[in-house]
Amino acid sequence: MRTMTVAVLFVFSIFGAQLLRLQGFDAAGVSQTAASERMGTIVYPAMRGSILDRNGTVLASSIERRTVTVDQTAVPQYTKTVGRVRTKVGVEGAAQDLSPLLGIPVPELTRMLTGDARYRVLQKNVTPLNWRKISELGVNGIYSEPTSERNYPTSTAAASLVGFVRADGTAGGGLEVLMDKELRGKAGKTIFEQSQDGRPIPNGRQETIPAVPGKDVRLTIDSDLQWYAQNAVAQKVLQTQALSGTVVVENAKTGELLAVASYPTFDPNQPGQASDNWTNKAWSDVYEPGSTGKVITASAAIQEGVVKPSTVVEVPNRLHRADTQFKDAEDHPTEYLTFAGVLAQSSNIGTILAGEQVSPATTYSYFRKFGLGATSGMHFPGESPGLLTNYKDWSGSQRYTMLFGQGLAVNALQAAGVFQTIANNGVRIPPHIVAGVGDGHGGFTPAASPTPVTVVSPQTAKQVRDMLEGVVGKDGTAPEAKVDGYRVAGKTGTADRYDSRTGGYAGKTASFIGFAPADDPQIVVAVTLQRPIKGYFGGAVAGPVFHDVMTYALQELKIPPTGTQSPVAVIRPAQIPSPSDPTVIRDHGSSGSGP
């Protein structure tokens, strides 16, 4: 008996010690653990902010939707009035009533309602009106969770620009990714006491933290202009059987992007159908610009004082430099052109003869100041900095190919930025696309303005502008780009296209970039087509697209003609200069080192 008594007391002492630990020393922790185990949580996703164009037109918005779920163990208790008599109809009756509202056949829905699962999704993206009808049926175990569906009213017109949202609610591309932090908001939740079977306890503790909706984002894009540019480039890509095409429309004075079209495209409402075209090629694709790059060489040569627009250049049929024979697009006898004529006629040889007067280091510095070899600072998804080799690493021939736009690579935004600089009196303003972010009170907080970069003087910029007007003249390479009633300046580009898949050149890159009105530039339009088959010269292929988009842009933005006369472009000197004229730029057999 004494042994048994000692044993019982020992056991009771253990129980007492454990009880003291639980109710005394560890009371708070045990209580918190118990509370957490009986608390359930329902998460409410935040409504994603809208993306708007400069005029408030919706490019992307979120629409309230419901995800309908079922507790299969409760459905058999479904009772409804049949012939004025309350009748238990169970799973079969529930399937009959829910089928037309959920759009699920009765046999399939019956299987989905049958079982012992406490949670199963029946249908997603149910409209609030439809959920109201479902809820009014009073089917046991049928619940819903708030969610949203992303909608893109402009569909394919701005798909790769605006981006899309995946099925799980995460951003999948374009501005949806770039501005995701501002757009996504903060999810809300309801915390409640629940029973062992997961049901809310009546009059139990409950706390709701409301969701914070995302902020709206306003862009610099004009929706109508975006739509027009997208359709214009799409038609030309299909007509010429090109691989792809882009159109960039930019405000010449502010750097605001008014349209950035890219084709092929996709439907952001169904993004899974075309995953190859999610990126906007104006940012992601890099290519050798060809003759549009001659604008940099011309600007550098004029700014450095080694040439003037009126300077005469003797242009032979072939030019030997660094063990390479350079030629123009077409064979010709030795001819004399003004430097303005060299640009208007897009002479590779004339550009080399003028450009080699500037040292490689100085030439490279101008490429950098014009924005090549670096990203824009927008951090747009997929943006490439292009390819710009340091002058110290240039090969012998690259020293000269760089001067007429080969041996380096740019994206369409960078190419457009060169002309924006010339149009804006020599001041480059990095392109930007976000105008402001919603402040939560119906207004917008303006985005920070980019830092301007002075590249050349206003005098140099004006001289280059006047020269570029000659390109669309009767003696230039792109009369198709003229716009009735407006002064237009621009440059064609036709370059060999490097294909990374084959590791060599295949096809051409055709482009035209220009601005208007030429004497008071407001708009820059850059058109680029990759590997067109039915025609490939920039003036003939890209020039008409430039004409159409520029015409529409001038009308859409209500920009009137200036009414001034274009300067007369002097393409050739009045008479052939004498061989001893020191002002003429000639081939003196330069070794290519430059001054």
Closest CA to 403 of 343, 341, 331: 343
pLDDT in tens, 429-458: 999 999 999 988 888 999 999 999 999 999
- What average pLDDT does this structure show over 160-176? 90
For the chain, give the mean pLDDT.
90
**What's the rounded Cα separation, in Å, for the pair 559 and 550?**
11
342/339 Cα distance (integer angstroms): 5
Q: Are 532 and 541 in contact (CB under 8 A)?
A: yes
- pLDDT tops 80 at residue 28: no
Q: Report whether pLDDT(507) > 70.
A: yes
Residues near 299 by Cβ (< 8 Å), separated by ≥ 6?
Answer: 366, 370, 422, 426, 455, 456, 460, 461, 464
φ, ψ at 29 (rounded to 5°): -65, -45
> Residues 409-428: what's their mean pLDDT?
97
The predicted model gives 357-380 an average pLDDT of 96
pLDDT score of 459: 97
Highest mean pLDDT out of 19-28, 413-422, 570-579 = 413-422
Per-residue pLDDT reduced to its tens digit, 247-295: 999 999 999 999 999 999 999 998 776 666 788 999 999 999 999 999 9
Chain CA centroid to CA 133, Å = 41
Q: For the chain, give percent helix, strand, coil, nearest 5.
A: 35, 25, 40
Full-model pTM: 0.85
Dump pLDDT digits (tens) for 478-498: 888 899 999 999 999 999 998
Domains and their CATH numbers in the chain: 42-219 (3.90.1310.10), 223-265+287-439+451-556 (3.40.710.10)
pLDDT over 70 at 593, yes or no: no
Nearest Cα neighbor of 420 from 255, 562, 290, 222 is: 255
What secondary structure, in 3-state letters, does 240-288 show? HCCCEEEEEEEECCCCEEEEEEEECCCCCCCHHHCHHHCCCHHHHCCEC
Q: How many CA atoms lie within 13 A of 390 on its CB side?
A: 2
Please choose, from the candidates 481, 559, 523, 552, the residue with its C-alpha nearest in 3D space to the C-alpha of residue 230. Answer: 552
pLDDT tens digits, one per residue of 178-235: 999 999 989 888 787 777 666 667 777 777 888 889 999 999 999 999 999 999 999 9
Q: Which residues contact 222 (CB under 8 A, 6 or more apart)?
A: 53, 54, 55, 258, 259, 556, 557
| pLDDT of the residue at 37 | 67
Q: Is the pLDDT of residue 592 over 50?
A: no
- Catalytic one of 291, 299, 346, 376: 291
**Residue 32: its pLDDT value, please?**
67
Q: How confident is the model at residue 150 (pLDDT cuts 50, 70, 90)?
A: very high
- The pLDDT assigned to 274 comes to 60
pLDDT tens for 56-65 read 999 999 998 8
Q: How confident is the model at residue 594 (pLDDT cuts 50, 70, 90)?
A: very low
Report the distance separating Cα 185 and Cα 210, nearest Å.
Answer: 11
- 33 falls in which pLDDT band (50, 70, 90)? low
Structure tokens at 292: 């549009």
Clarify whether 291 is annotated catalytic: yes
The pLDDT tens digits of the residues spanning 510-557 come to 999 999 999 999 999 999 999 999 999 998 999 999 999 999 999 999
DSSP state of 472: G
Distance between CA 126 and CA 134 in Å, rounded?
10
Phi and psi torsions of 380, nearest 5°:
-65, 140
**Residue 284 pLDDT:** 94
